[in-house]
Chains A and B, each alone.
Chain A
Amino acid sequence: MTSLDILAAAVLNGLMSGAVYALIAVGLTLVYGVLHIINFAHGAILSAAMFAAYLAFQAGVDPYVAMVPLALIFFGLGYGLQRLVIGPASHGDDRNILLITLGLSIVIENLLLAVFNSDTRTVDVAYGFSTLDLGFTFLALPRAAAFGVSCLVAVLLWILLAQTDTGKAIRAVAKEKLGASLAGIDVAHIYAVTFGLGAACLAIAACLLLPTYYVHPRVGNAYVLVAFTIVVLGGMGSIPGAIAGGLFVGVVESLSGLMFGESLGQLGIFVIFILVLLIRPTGLFGAKA
């Protein structure tokens, strides 16, 4: 194996984990782009989704099978959360929404702790260590699947936003809430749909992560910290930015892990993050202020 092969393998592996980062970041950036708030409950919802996928597995349902039903269930949960809790409790003030999502994250995490305690759990799937032989390297099957599904979700989301009435209404509300209201668009409904889509992205990410990652009531936070970096890196509210940023961060993490050792893998992410903030504070795909 030449050193070039090692490098290529690292890049490839980075793209694989970057795709899941991107998926989590897309959910976060979508909610930011439309509701103009950072959803602090994003990590807790991811943890909850991973537990949901874990429970499904315990009940005999493979995570890849549970993916679609869980995405639908979490869409419903997200919709209800925004429509029945966050929206009414915020009284239309963005600062309130921020605090409510922060409060929700504490409630969700502690509920998970109360029910599942703080043990770290893993699942054992038959294909957990299966690999694809690419000639110059081997690719873990669950990671390849995560990459493929994340790309598929990105495409579906793009079609939804670009082609459907609901998607157009989401884009309209994101840019011009008052105009959308006056045009007859139900803004509260669109907010809830957007929040639901963000939660559905997390449910899919959870199912993709479960075969190779552990489950813990606070597991989501590690991912959301990276996802938040990606959202800022790509430009707040930009979906192409979140996808490009996610893949980029995955590769950077993998390469700096290769160079500085696995435990310092995330070092490279934050170095580049600081550089981007210094040089282009609106993010790679962000609109100029």
Chain B
Amino acid sequence: MAEALLEVKDLVAGYDGTSVLCGVSLEVEAGSIVAVLGANGVGKTTLNKVLSGIVRPQRGEVIFDGQRIDRKSPADIVAAGLVHVPEGRKLFPDLSVRENLELGSYRRGKAERARTMEQVLTVFPRLKERFAQRAGTLSGGEQQMVAIGRGMMGQPRLLILDEPSLGLAPRLVEEMFTLIGRLNEVGLTILLVEQNVMQSLELADAAHVMEHGCLVLSGTGAELAGNSELAKTYLGM
């Protein structure tokens, strides 16, 4: 088995002394799509916040590309190549699309930034039309594109997508999942955190189901898609 790009070991984390995560362990292999699924409030976002350095873990380790990152600052983690595209997008509403994207590669040189911008605009040609527009005035789908684009500007090797389909019209949800597949095909490793179970499983190489801060079910996408218990819980079948 190839060495994992991201390795999470027995992670316990929470807020103000209480724990939300109950000792989560998972691995993400380079080049794969790994999904973490679960309902609202089971700890998915807390997991993401630990991975991106916003929340310090109470116990456990996060190893990215052979390096421990669980005590690093968010900016250093981005520089190491792990970028978290947050739930709710968290764009800079008063800044233009262009400025939003540029700030994703704040630490890089101008030439490198221009090159990455070129790539992002190839993936999201629609953003070129909206380039000078304020990000706050875009539609939900377009804002999600800016959020992912801003993440890509950091030249990540691992992209964490937190609820990228949330609040999008059904047709756009379809588009979003197609896009995630395409990003993976061009070489990005993706940790997909979603409530949208079936579509995520279709895409994922491996998947984990989270309940009450613990991973309760793990397997390949196809295995979990065929799991009757999962279908009962999340699809009411």
Contacts and interface: CB of A to CB of B under 8 A. Distances in A.
B18 to A, nearest CB: 18
B20 to A, nearest CB: 17
A52 interface: no
B86 A179 contact: yes
Nearest to B101: A183
A121 B181 CA distance: 72
A179 B151 CA distance: 10
A182 B54 CA distance: 8
B95 A172 contact: yes
B92 A179 contact: yes
A176 B106 CA distance: 15
Interface string A146-184: 000000000000000000010011011001101111111
Given A171-B95, A172-B92, A184 B106 contact: yes
Contacts of A184: 74-75, 78-79, 83, 104-107, 154
A185 interface: yes
B94 interface: yes
A36 to B, nearest CB: 15
Interface in A185-233: 185-187
Interface in B59-87: 73-75, 78-79, 83-86
Interface in B167-224: none
Contact of A183 (B53, B73, B93, B103): B103
Contacts of B102: 165, 168
Judged by DSSP, the binding face of A is helix
Contacts of A176: 90-93
Contacts of A175: 92-95
Nearest to B85: A182
Given A172-B95, A178-B54, A185 B103 contact: yes
A168 B73 CA distance: 21
Contact of B52 (A165, A171, A172, A182): A182
A261 to B, nearest CB: 44
A189 B103 CA distance: 15
B150 interface: yes
A182 B78 contact: yes
A178 B99 CA distance: 17
Contact of A185 (B52, B89, B94, B106): B106
Given A168-B99, A178-B54, A183 B94 contact: no
Nearest to B75: A186
Contacts of A182: 52, 54, 74, 78, 83-86, 90, 151
Interface in B39-71: 52-54
B103 A181 contact: no
A186 B105 CA distance: 12
A65 B99 CA distance: 37
Contacts of A185: 75, 103, 106
A169 B75 contact: no
Contacts of A178: 54, 86, 90
B178 to A, nearest CB: 24
Smallest CB-CB A-B distances: 4 pairs: A179-B90, A184-B78, A181-B74, A172-B92
Given A169-B103, A183-B154, 15 more contacts: A168-B103, A169-B106, A172-B99, A172-B103, A175-B92, A176-B90, A176-B93, A178-B90, A179-B91, A182-B85, A183-B78, A183-B103, A183-B151, A184-B106, A186-B73
19 contacts: A165-B103, A165-B106, A168-B103, A171-B94, A172-B95, A175-B92, A175-B94, A175-B95, A176-B92, A176-B93, A179-B90, A181-B53, A181-B54, A182-B54, A182-B90, A183-B104, A184-B74, A184-B106, A184-B154
Interface of B: 52-54, 73-75, 78-79, 83-86, 89-95, 99-100, 102-107, 150-151, 153-154
Interface of A: 165, 168-169, 171-172, 175-176, 178-187
